Each structure stands twice: as C-alpha cells, then as structure tokens.
Structure 1
Amino acid sequence: MQSVTQQDQLDCLLAEHSAVLVLYGGQACGVCQAIKPALTHLLAQEFPCVTAVYVDCQQQGGSVCAQQGVMALPVVHIWFEGRCFAEFFKVFSLTDIRSALTRPYQLLFAQH
C-alpha cells in the first residue's frame, strides 16, 4: 500500500488511476493494522488493477482525514474513475469490500 500524507497526493493518485482503494487508519488502531495486510492480499489476488493507498490519520495524514470527513477508524473508500463509489467505516468485512469491488471492476477492466 502506498502511503499518502497530503490531500494533493491523494488527488493525483485518484486522477492517475481508474480504481483506487483508500484505507484510513492509524498506528494505534488494532483493527486498522489487522485489516491492512488482508486488504493488500485481497487486491493482489482478485483486483490487481486497483491501486491501494493508506492514510495514517494519527500521524502525518491527519489533514487528509479531516478533508475527507473521516471521524472514526478504520474507513475504506473505493474510487472508480475519480468518484467515490463506496464507503465502509468501523464495522465491515472483506466480503463487503469484495462485493463492492467485483461488478464495477469487471466492467472497467473486462478488456484487460
């Protein structure tokens, strides 16, 4: 996962990549630290064209989290073509993430 600390970095990634998953977490958030490698594995195995991004809301990424309206951890935003397609916060599963990604991913990357 690529770490982002500034909003302009996130904006550039969203403009450059058709599909982006952003995990907003923190070093002191146990759930965040547990789900991070699981998300990385899921994307690598099933959704390789999705760019994975991590924003540490408890460190340098605090301003990005504030601008994105992140008030609790963890939060996952799924972006397709520069638009936030899905948001998950606090209580969610990898199955929820997979379900949200599957159909738009197939439509967007079917030719690949």
Structure 2
Amino acid sequence: MNPLENQQQLDNLKQEKDALLILFGGEHCGVCQTIKPQIFKKFTVKFPDLEMLYIDCEQSQEVCAQHGVFSLPVVQVFFMGQKFIEEVRGFSLLALEQEIEKTYAKMNS
C-alpha cells in the first residue's frame, strides 16, 4: 500500500486511476494496523487494477478531515474518480470484498 504525501497527490490519483482504494488509518490504531496487510494481500491478487493507498491520519490530519474521516479505520473506494464505497470503523473485509467485486466486474467487462 502506497503512503500519501499530500492532497494534490490524492486528487491526481483519483483522476488517473480507474479504481482506487484508500485506507485511512493511524499508527496507534490497532485495528488499522491489523487490516492493512490483510487488505493489501487479498485485494492485490483479486483486483490487480485496484490501486491501494494508505493515509496515516496522525500524519495527514488535514487530508483526513477534508474526506470526512474523524474515526478510524475508514476505507473509501473510488471508481472513475467517484466514491462508490465507504466503510467506517467496524466492518467486514468479506463484505467489502464483495462490494468491490460487484463494481470491479462491471468496470472490467
């Protein structure tokens, strides 16, 4: 998962990538640190065109606030620059995978 450096980089990725998953987390968020490698490992294989990005909200508070992220973890998935999926705090990785799969399949057909 690639780290984010600034808001402009995020805006560029949203426009450049057909599919973008953003995990908003924090170094001191145990759940965030647990799901981060799970998401990367599972989704990299299943969705090869899905660009994945990690934003540390402890380091990039302004970016997180601009995206309405005030609790952790949060996953947002964008297709063609539009947000299609948002999961906040307690969510199932299986349900997230199924939601991505629905839209991802349509995009690649």
Smaller-chain TM-score bracket: over 0.9
SS of 2:84's equivalent?
strand
Cα offset for 1:31?
Answer: 0.3
2:83 is aligned with 1:89 = no
Greater Cα shift, 89-98 or 19-28:
89-98
Quick one: distance in 1 between partners of 2:9 and 2:44? 22
2:62 aligns to what? 63
Greater Cα shift, 96-105 or 12-21:
96-105
TM-score (norm 1): 0.94
Quick one: distance in 2 between partners of 1:4 and 1:89? 19
Q: Residue by residue, what CA displacement relative to the aligned partner does 1:64-96 show, whole Å, maximum 9, x if unpaired?
A: 101101010000001000000010000001112
Quick one: distance in 2 between partners of 1:37 and 1:93? 15
Any residues of structure 2 matched to 1:41-52 within 5 Å, and which?
Answer: 41-52=41-52
1:35 aligns to what? 35
Quick one: distance in 1 between partners of 2:90 and 2:5? 24
Whether the 8 Å contact between 1:5 and 1:56 is mirrored in structure 2 is: no
Q: What percent of counterpart residues are identical?
A: 40
The runs of 4+ residues in structure 1 deviating greater than 6 Å are none
Q: Residue by residue, what CA displacement relative to the aligned partner does 1:48-69 show, whole Å, maximum 9, x if unpaired?
A: 110000000011x111101101
Whether the 8 Å contact between 1:6 and 1:63 is mirrored in structure 2 is: no
2:101 is aligned with 1:102 = yes
In the alignment, structure 2 segments of 5+ residues that lack a partner are none
Whether the 8 Å contact between 1:26 and 1:57 is mirrored in structure 2 is: yes
SS of 1:87's equivalent?
strand
Whether the 8 Å contact between 1:77 and 1:86 is mirrored in structure 2 is: yes
CA RMSD of aligned residues (A): 0.8
